[in-house]
């Protein structure tokens, strides 16, 4: 089959980006609800792409993503909340000193949220990365739970179970999609750099990689910290999208890790475009399945809505994907113009 030249590739990519730009700048035509969903798609995509860097590309299986997202969310929210709002929220125990008298902009708060999450990723990765396989998964899960319980109990910093309210809704389509672009560029170029090749070697066979002279620990740590950074950024965006935060297990706890896991498994573990497709799928399907949770009337019969139905259907889908279709939508491959071209060529040949 014909190979697409670099020039055409570049033109198509730029055209695609311009297309996305026009779509995003006109998204408010679809209404407030849909522009919020489009924003959420980008936030989910950042979570999924940063998660797939660890779980797919590096091939170590972490269950701690929600912890980093929560750290990013809380850090940035505490930095952007107005001083009056903080005084109002923290009525059980006042907020500790430096945080109670500062308010900074959204961009620096997001970056600081990411950096704090990356720092925690380093702290957690340092002991955990010596473990392998399912032990690593359980250790990171335990660390994520420790983070959640700390958030729940440190009333002077996080307002504990009361949570944070009245966070400024800064996150809009542009913030979310620009950060997604940054995430994809960083993690994409990492995947195809020499570091990325080393990471893939490690995911295939850590012992063989070590024999080839790859410093397994350092590479895994780097991937883990970068993933933590973008998880923190996605948490910051999420906090300013949803505007209230609380440390229940079903909101910023292990449930969130499950959701992101569903996205990357459906998209294909190890694929960046797959992770984004998985995130789009998850965002739309979980919204669409909401119809099962409200009453439906067909020909005068009312079928009562069942709360939780959407997650039940998604979990069944998830298990089916794992049993019958383990490579997901993309496997470890990326979607590129060559693939799309080949696909249409194949369809054409079949039609003739």
Positions that interact with another protein (CB under 8 A): 61, 63, 127-128, 130-135, 137-139, 141-143, 145-146, 149-150, 152-153, 207, 249-250, 254, 258, 261-262, 265, 306-309, 311-312, 314-316, 318-319, 322-323, 326
CA triplet 227, 238, 178: central angle to 5 degrees?
70
Question: Quick check: 240 and 168 in contact, CB under 8 A?
Answer: yes
Minimum Å gap between C-beta 321 and another protein is 9
Q: How many residues make up the chain in this entry?
A: 352
Minimum Å gap between C-beta 160 and another protein is 8
Complex with another protein: residue 137 or 280, whichever CB lies closer:
137
Minimum Å gap between C-beta 303 and another protein is 14
Question: Quick check: 41 and 117 in contact, CB under 8 A?
Answer: no
> What six digits make up the tokens of 34?
């849909």
Complex with another protein: residue 141 or 190, whichever CB lies closer:
141
Minimum Å gap between C-beta 258 and another protein is 5
Minimum Å gap between C-beta 73 and another protein is 20
Count the Cβ atoms, other than its own, within 10 Å of residue 103. Answer: 16
What is the rounded distance in angstroms from the CA atom of residue 96 to the CA atom of residue 282? 38
> What is the helix (H) or strand (E) element at residue 301, kind and residue range?
strand 301-303
Minimum Å gap between C-beta 125 and another protein is 12
Nearest to 279 by CA among 301, 261, 293, 252: 261
Question: Quick check: 253 and 66 in contact, CB under 8 A?
Answer: yes
Count the Cβ atoms, other than its own, within 10 Å of residue 335. Answer: 17
**What residue spans of 154-215 are helical by DSSP H?**
155-158, 173-191, 194-204, 206-211
Complex with another protein: residue 116 or 265, whichever CB lies closer:
265
Complex with another protein: residue 112 or 269, whichever CB lies closer:
269
Complex with another protein: residue 143 or 179, whichever CB lies closer:
143
> What is the helix (H) or strand (E) element at residue 303, kind and residue range?
strand 301-303
Nearest to 124 by CA among 93, 151, 147: 147
Minimum Å gap between C-beta 53 and another protein is 16
> What six digits make up the tokens of 231?
């998880």
Helix (H/G/I), strand (E/B), else coil: 299:
coil
Number of H helices, E strands in the chain: 17, 2
Complex with another protein: residue 189 or 315, whichever CB lies closer:
315
Within 13 Å, how many C-alpha atoms sit on residue 324's CB side? 6
Complex with another protein: residue 39 or 50, whichever CB lies closer:
50
Complex with another protein: residue 180 or 202, whichever CB lies closer:
202
Complex with another protein: residue 11 or 306, whichever CB lies closer:
306
Minimum Å gap between C-beta 307 and another protein is 6
What is the rounded distance in angstroms from the CA atom of residue 90 to the CA atom of residue 216? 44
Minimum Å gap between C-beta 269 and another protein is 8
What is the rounded distance in angstroms from the CA atom of residue 187 to the CA atom of residue 206? 21
What is the rounded distance in angstroms from the CA atom of residue 198 to the CA atom of residue 296? 53
């Amino acid at each position: 089959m014909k190979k697409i030249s670099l020039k055409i590739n570049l033109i198509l990519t730029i055209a695609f980006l311009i297309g996305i730009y026009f779509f995003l700048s006109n998204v408010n035509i679809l209404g407030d609800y849909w522009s919020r969903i489009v924003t959420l798609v980008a936030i989910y995509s950042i979570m999924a792409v940063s998660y797939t860097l660890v779980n797919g590309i590096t091939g170590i299986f972490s269950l701690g993503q929600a912890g980093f997202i929560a750290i990013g969310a809380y850090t940035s929210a505490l930095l952007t909340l107005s001083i009056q709002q903080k005084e109002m929220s923290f009525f059980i125990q006042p907020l500790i000193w430096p945080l109670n008298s500062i308010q900074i902009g959204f961009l620096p708060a997001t970056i600081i949220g990411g950096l704090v999450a990356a720092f925690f990723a380093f702290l957690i990765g340092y002991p955990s990365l010596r473990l392998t396989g399912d032990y690593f998964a359980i250790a990171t899960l335990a660390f994520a739970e420790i983070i959640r319980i700390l958030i729940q109990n440190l009333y002077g910093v996080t307002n504990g179970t009361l949570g944070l309210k009245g966070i400024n809704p800064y996150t809009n389509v542009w913030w979310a999609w620009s950060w997604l672009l940054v995430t994809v560029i960083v993690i994409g170029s990492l995947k195809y750099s020499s570091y990325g090749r080393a990471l893939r070697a490690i995911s295939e066979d850590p012992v063989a990689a070590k024999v080839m002279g790859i410093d397994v620990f350092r590479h895994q740590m780097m991937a883990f910290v970068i993933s933590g950074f973008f998880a923190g950024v996605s948490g910051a965006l999420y906090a300013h999208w949803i505007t209230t935060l609380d440390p229940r297990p079903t909101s910023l706890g292990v449930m969130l890790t499950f959701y992101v896991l569903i996205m990357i498994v459906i998209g294909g573990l190890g694929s960046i475009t797959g992770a984004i497709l998985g995130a789009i799928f998850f965002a739309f399907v979980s919204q669409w399945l909401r119809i099962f949770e409200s009453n439906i009337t067909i020909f005068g019969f009312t079928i009562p809505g069942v709360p939780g139905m959407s997650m039940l259907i998604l979990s069944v889908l998830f298990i089916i994907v794992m049993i019958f279709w383990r490579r997901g939508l993309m496997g470890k491959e990326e979607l590129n113009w060559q693939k799309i071209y080949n696909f249409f060529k194949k369809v054409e040949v079949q039609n003739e």
